[in-house]
Structure 1
Amino acid sequence: MRAHQVVAGVDGSLVSVRALDRAADEAARRETALHIVYAVPDLDEAGPILAAAAARVRARHPALPVTTRAVRGSAVRALARESEDAALTVVGSRGLGGLTGRLLGSVSLRLAAHVHGPLLVVRGDHPRWDGREVLLGLDDDADTDVAAYAFREAERRGARLRVLHCSRHRHVTPEMPLPGSATTLGQARLIQQDRAEEAVPRYTVARLKEQHPAVGIDTRTVRTGPAHALLEATRAADVVVIGVHHRTHRGGPHLGPVAHTLLHRSHCPVLVVPTG
């Protein structure tokens, strides 16, 4: 497999066709090749689907290098493996995996927990990007890799970057006011915590802004309901960029609540950047 190409997962459904179109656009934008993958129980069934997919891409992007591959078995396993050397992996929000996918849950959701590189999950009913806004959900740790990826996406699309810093306070037990003081110890700690939490994303964003001066930025800190705040913000965005930490549970890797909410309900495509 050629390194740094865009990988598209297809299965013949309308949703996967729309994801294929988006993947082809991404490959053309990055000036790289497109690799189309179809995971299916019977490899003999893959030929017509892959041939149709390749023909569709070549009709839209005649100069784009296109390769195809049929894989027997799980779509999640196949695409996770292909993602190891991909600049971007693209799937639709439903459809991959047939009956097995419906029984075991969304392929895009499970793939996000195993993918090795950036993953774009395309909603079938979302209009094409028009360069309005890239939305970045920045967690408390202010992950610089995710922020840097979002800046590059905004720059690549000529779009504005909107940053939502999702701050989550620890509970502070109310205390009696100190003599002669207008604030309690708990309030003072919250104020100090506010300043510390907001300084990190401000520093990260300011440093990246120096590296990407053409990108316009809006920033806002959200202290409660980060998943809901990001979900609402996706109504006005072309794409939302989030970092995903692969948390291991007894049943295997598991996504956090923000990623889970957006992958199920986002109003725009979701670009997942794994952070370890």
Structure 2
Amino acid sequence: MELPLVVGVDGSEPSLRAVDWAADEAALRGVALRVVYASLWERYEGASLVGEFAGVRDEGLAEAIVEGAARRARERHPDLKVSAEVVPEEPEYVLPRLSRDATAVVVGTRGRSGLAEALLGSVSLAVAAHAHSPVIVVRGSHDNQARRPVQGRVLLGVGEDGPAALRFAFEEARLRAVPLEAVRAWRWPAHETTDHPLLAGEPARLHEEQAVEMLETALRDAPAGIDVHRRTVEGHARRVLADLSHHADLLVVGTKRPHGHLGRVAHAVLHHSACPVAVVPQDA
């Protein structure tokens, strides 16, 4: 049985963007969509409801939010199987728990004190750090609509985080019928310099060759039929990927999450990517 896609909602515009994105993804994958409102969410993020929920009395607010989100998903994809539920727990516990039986978990970004588009909400960060499935954090739009894919590519940051992120990225590219751009960033350490004019470019060339080799090794089992573009770029991976995200519909990164913390690259792109980010745990 195919596992459903779970989307967390809280009545805010960012969460409704996440519903749109999740509905599109569930329809693409042919799986059900499970809309979840953790009723203690406002304790973490504060109230920032869209107009349709602003006048609802507190005792009916949770049900109104989750049913409104489910209705929105059904209107977007009438044939999509959608369920809705309210769970009276903290979202940072509910969503990771539900991720055990989910294809993926989708959340929006919401910060505090008017910084919603500059800072990642605490719930989104906690879910990305503790979920058992891939987590997609929907970024990159400033209205209450999720953008349809327009760039025509999936971007993959190739690191040392295992094959799970690779498999997820391959599948996304296949489902969307778009190229996969696989990127390996590399650095030229400052101490590896030489004053000899004939050897000046040698350290950089060696580091770039290592990046190319790692990229080829990671992609050697790419499924047939997927158009894979390989790219090595000098620079910090977090900056390279954030820059390239402006030209992608989805950025996929892996994470080992030592001691329950996201790695530096995943943490950085969650804050600065221009497109939705899929964080795939190593053991997903």
TM-score, length basis structure 1: 0.81
- Quote the Cα distance in structure 2 between the aligned partners of 1:93 and 1:212: 35
Match of 1:212 among 224, 228, 234: 224
Q: Using a 3 Å threshold, how does the CA distance of structure 1 residues 76 and 153 change in structure 2: closer, same or farther?
A: same
Q: Using a 3 Å threshold, how does the CA distance of structure 1 residues 236 and 175 change in structure 2: closer, same or farther?
A: closer
- Quote the Cα distance in structure 2 between the aligned partners of 1:31 and 1:131: 23
- Quote the Cα distance in structure 2 between the aligned partners of 1:136 and 1:203: 15
Q: Using a 3 Å threshold, how does the CA distance of structure 1 residues 67 and 190 change in structure 2: closer, same or farther?
A: same
- Quote the Cα distance in structure 2 between the aligned partners of 1:170 and 1:72: 50
1:156 aligns with 2:159: no
- How far apart are residue 62 of structure 1 and its match? 2.4
- Quote the Cα distance in structure 2 between the aligned partners of 1:95 and 1:69: 24
For structure 1, which segment, 199-208 or 35-44, has the greater mean C-alpha deviation from structure 2 after superposition? 35-44
Q: Is the 8 A contact 2:155 2:182 kept in 1?
A: yes
1:120 aligns with 2:141: no
TM-score, length basis structure 2: 0.79
Q: How does 1:46-57 map to 2 (within 5 A)?
A: 46-57=62-73
Q: Which runs of 4+ in 1 moved over 6 A?
A: 187-190
Q: Is the 8 A contact 1:133 1:239 kept in 2?
A: yes
Q: Using a 3 Å threshold, how does the CA distance of structure 1 residues 255 and 75 change in structure 2: closer, same or farther?
A: same
- How far apart are residue 206 of structure 1 and its match? 3.4
Query: Residue 247 of structure 1 aligns with which residue?
Result: 258
Q: Is the 8 A contact 2:110 2:121 kept in 1?
A: no
Q: How does 1:190-269 map to 2 (within 5 A)?
A: 194-208=208-222, 211-213=223-225, 215-248=226-259, 253-269=260-276
Q: Using a 3 Å threshold, how does the CA distance of structure 1 residues 79 and 136 change in structure 2: closer, same or farther?
A: same
Higher strand proportion, which one? Answer: 1
- Quote the Cα distance in structure 2 between the aligned partners of 1:116 and 1:237: 25
| Structure 1: gaps (5+ residues) | 97-103
- How far apart are residue 66 of structure 1 and its match? 1.5
Query: Residue 8 of structure 2 aligns with which residue?
Result: 9
Q: Using a 3 Å threshold, how does the CA distance of structure 1 residues 173 and 14 change in structure 2: closer, same or farther?
A: closer
For structure 1, which segment, 120-129 or 48-57, has the greater mean C-alpha deviation from structure 2 after superposition? 120-129
- Quote the Cα distance in structure 1 between the aligned partners of 2:14 and 2:121: 16
- How far apart are residue 171 of structure 1 and its match? 6.4
- Quote the Cα distance in structure 1 between the aligned partners of 2:176 and 2:59: 37
Output the amino acid matched with 1:226: A
- How far apart are residue 127 of structure 1 and its match? 2.4
Q: Using a 3 Å threshold, how does the CA distance of structure 1 residues 142 and 82 change in structure 2: closer, same or farther?
A: closer
- Quote the Cα distance in structure 2 between the aligned partners of 1:219 and 1:110: 32
Output the amino acid matched with 2:231: R
- How far apart are residue 16 of structure 1 and its match? 0.8
| Structure 2: gaps (5+ residues) | 41-57, 113-119
